[in-house]
Amino acid sequence: MDDSADDETPLLGMDLPETAPQASSGPYRVLARKYRPQTFAELIGQDAMVRTLGNAIARDRLAHAFLMTGVRGVGKTSTARLIAKALNCIGPDGQGGPTIDPCGVCEPCRAITEGRHIDVIEMDAASNTGVDDVREIIEAVRYAAVSARYKIYIIDEVHMLSRNAFNALLKTLEEPPPHVKFLFATTEVNKVPVTVLSRCQRFDLRRITPDMLFAHFSAILQKEGVEAEAPAIWLIANAAEGSVRDGLSILDQAIAHADLDGGGKIGADQVRVMLGLSDRSAIGQLMATILDGDAGGAIDLARAQYALGIEPVAMVRGLMDLTHAITLAKVSRHDDPALAAADRERIGDWAQKLGFAPLNRLWQLLLKGHDEVLRANNPLEHLEMLLLRVIYAASMPDPGELAKLLEKGGVPATPMVAPAAPAAQGDTVAALPVDAPAAETPASALTIAQIHQLLESAGNHQLALQVYDHLQLLQLEPGLIVHAAAPALDGDFARRVGEALLKETGSRWQVRVGEGDARPSLGQMKAAKLADNGARIRELPVVKAALAAFPDARLVEDDDNRHRSNP
């Protein structure tokens, strides 16, 4: 082969691998290319695939087409190049055969590493999508390899090929000449036709775990002679989201950032600022104000973080991450090495105090609010409204909690944290409840509305409906319900209510019919309120004018009111 081949300009679109580190006087190479794996032993996190390939090579049961799929930066193209080296390696003595451990020193190995082997053709499907590009491959596969054992075609991002290009390739892909191997790589395997998938041996490359990334990045930093705090490396490993290339790109940036501002050492605070992550301590303070019901304090903290350059959506993500951490801590599954000891202690304390129900409601509110803040024209305003919604709505006690409190002999008389603004009569506003014992309250504070809610939550829908519509109270005391006779309440009503309350509260209840002036039922009170509202609405000048202009018009109740009046 002509020595001038070493000076040839590489084809556009090819990400050529690099060999040993160059002298410092040469152009800088990013870490993702400098430390591209050159052997299967250096390919981290893909042990199952390497074992399968090794067994196939050892038994001489090689497929004619391989498809590597997985998220970005896990080694798909690197694996294709390693397979090309493994199949064409001839060993240091020139007498070797296919091996899972290519020597890296023979001419085929060095030529493939340097991207100049004439029989290993790389094609970027994103820029070669048509039938004409595939036709060139079909015509070229008929000819034997020039100097290698196999002629290998590596097609990156193969899902970008057009439908006609895929169809043109099918026959050749199913029955290629024995000297040809196809290696495909893609991040979107769902876009590859099943007719192509059925002709390939598929390998799904796994995401790299944070533990593996931490060890890998630590080794690279040691080789580069750069110091870094362990929490900083963990932050980079988590931010990589399973991608080695993404993590190395962040690590490159962190090294440059440390050289300028950190005295040569990568710190966790620098990495957090560089990635635009919200400060953990500030998010912890924000969570504390939410749990304390301090609406004003929460808004002040959010505005202070916004003034420092933290995006509102990053603050929501921080609250979601913290909620997730607290929930995992409740089941002893939270282990984040990037956390400081004080943060671990605070999360553990919240995990002991908060129940699963309020944590789940908090998560759902934040999850919905995240999308709203992300799409908002003014994210800060949406964040402030989200914080108020979380403080005043996330903690409304659910029927299950009410039942537990009734079993203990009491219900909460006041919110755990008083709201900043007065609530309307009959409304309940509270901060997130904790699993601490509630203040004892006489059972006489239990209202007929709470009894109706308790029956409804227990699944006694028909019984709850009878209570709502027809139960007119004469007397309500601990363990005693006296009501007026009603045709809709049959003779079995008292027994069924008593049994249901015994099951839900653990206390015996006497339910009987009495005489006297009874209070209206819940349904009757609702209807009277709606009628009064209707009368007042009809007196409004605009409504009078509308009714005069449209004599057949009538007032109707909205869907929400209808739903509340017919539980």
Residues 302-324 have pLDDT tens digits of 898 888 778 888 889 889 988 88
* Same domain, yes or no: 329 and 367: yes
Residue 525: the pLDDT is 84
Q: Are residues 177 and 216 in the same domain?
A: no
- Tens of pLDDT, residue by residue over 513-541, are 888 888 888 888 888 877 777 777 777 66
Going by pLDDT thresholds of 50, 70 and 90, the confidence category of residue 182 is very high
> Is 38 in the same domain as 91?
yes
The domain boundary, picked from 182, 204, 226, lies at: 204
Residue written as tokens 């089941």?
331
Q: What is the average pLDDT score of the chain?
A: 78
Number of domains observed in the structure of the chain: 5
**If you count them, how many residues does the chain have?**
567
- The answer on 187 and 132 residing in a single domain is yes
Report how far Cα 18 is from the mean position of its chain's Cα atoms.
35
Per-residue pLDDT, averaged over 175-181, amounts to 89
- Mean pLDDT (whole number) for 409-419: 41
The mean-pLDDT minimum among 25-34, 206-215, 226-235 falls in: 25-34
Q: Tell me the β-bridge partners of 512.
A: 482
404: in domain = no
Residue 39 maps to a domain: yes
Helix axes 230-239, 268-275, angle to 10 degrees: 20
**CATH code of the domain covering residue 34:** 3.40.50.300
Q: What is the DSSP letter of 241?
A: T
pLDDT at 329 (0 to 100): 84
Would 109 be classed as within a structural domain? yes
- Residue 431 confidence (pLDDT): 41
Q: Is residue 435 part of a domain?
A: no
The reported pLDDT for the residue numbered 184 is 92
209-213, 223-227, 297-301, 502-506: the lowest-pLDDT one: 502-506
pLDDT at residue 387 greater than cutoff 50: yes
Q: Same domain for 195 and 92?
A: yes
Residues 50 and 160 in one domain: yes
The answer to whether residue 430 sits within a structural domain is no
Q: 499 with 381, same domain?
A: no
Residue 333, classified by CB atoms within 10 Å of its CB into exposed (0-12), middle (13-18) or buried (19+), is exposed
Q: What is the pLDDT of residues 316-366, one digit of tens each?
A: 988 998 888 888 888 876 666 656 666 777 888 888 888 888 888 888 889
The answer to whether 406 touches 504, Cβ cutoff 8 Å, is yes
What residues have CB less than 8 Å from 361, skipping those under 6 apart?
394, 395
For residue 298, what is the domain's CATH number? Answer: 1.20.272.10
Higher local confidence (pLDDT), 274 or 434: 274
Q: Which of 152, 171, 204 is the last residue of a domain?
A: 204
**Above 80 in pLDDT, residue 5?**
no
Which pLDDT belongs to residue 346?
A: 80
Closest CA to 122 of 162, 81, 82: 81
Q: Indicate if 503 and 541 belong to the same structural domain.
A: no
- What integer is the mean pLDDT of 161-173? 88
Per-residue pLDDT at 6: 43
Q: Please report the pLDDT score of residue 408 as a whole number.
A: 54
CA atoms of 75 and 49, how far apart (whole Å): 12
Asked if residue 105 belongs to a domain, the reply is: yes
Mean pLDDT of 125-147: 86
Does residue 167 lie within any of the structural domains?
yes
- In the sheet where 480-484 sits, what is the strand order? 473-477, 480-484, 510-514
Tens of pLDDT, residues 20-66: 444 445 678 888 888 888 888 888 888 888 888 888 888 888 888 99
Cα–Cα distance measured from residue 517 to residue 259, given in angstroms and rounded to the nearest whole number: 84
Say what the pLDDT of residue 143 is. Answer: 87
Please say whether the beta carbons of 75 and 205 come within 8 A.
yes
pLDDT band at 419; cut points 50, 70, 90: very low
Q: Is the pLDDT of residue 429 over 50?
A: no
Cα→Cα distances 490→35, 463, 480, 493, 509, Å = 81, 11, 18, 5, 18
Strands (E), 86-223: 120-124, 151-156, 180-186, 201-204
Instruction: Give bridge partners of residue 202 from the DSSP assignment.
Output: 67
Residue 433 lies in a domain: no
Residue 426 class from Cβ within 10 Å (0-12 exposed, 13-18 middle, 19+ buried)? Answer: exposed
Q: Give the range of the structural domain holding residue 218, as residue numbers without chain letter.
A: 210-275
Is pLDDT above 60 for 88? yes
253 with 139, same domain: the answer is no
Domain boundary among 185, 204, 223: 204
- Cα–Cα distance for residue pair 238/235, rounded to 1 Å: 5
CATH number, position 263: 1.10.8.60
Name the residue with tokens 């593996």. Answer: 212
Q: 446-493: per-residue pLDDT in tens?
A: 678 888 888 888 788 888 888 888 888 888 887 888 888 888 888 788
Q: What is the percent of the chain where pLDDT is above 70? A: 78
Instruction: Tell me, yes or no, whether 143 and 120 share the same domain.
Output: yes
Cα 554 to chain centroid distance, Å, stands at 48
Q: Are 81 and 12 contained in the same domain?
A: yes
Geometric angle at alpha carbon 311, from 305 and 313, rounded to 5°: 115
**Nearest alpha-carbon partner for 58 in 87, 99, 92:** 99
pLDDT computed for residue 284 by the predictor: 83
User: pLDDT per residue over 115-129, tens digit each?
Assistant: 888 989 888 888 888
pLDDT of residue 560: 45
Please state, in angstroms and rounded to a whole number, the distance separating the CA atoms of residues 415 and 519: 28
CATH number, domain with residue 515: 3.30.300
pTM of the model: 0.56
Look up residue 78 and give its two tokens: 């690197």
pLDDT at 420: 39
Residue 56 and residue 155 in one domain? yes
* pLDDT at position 152 over 80: yes
Interatomic CA distance for residues 129 and 111, integer angstroms = 27
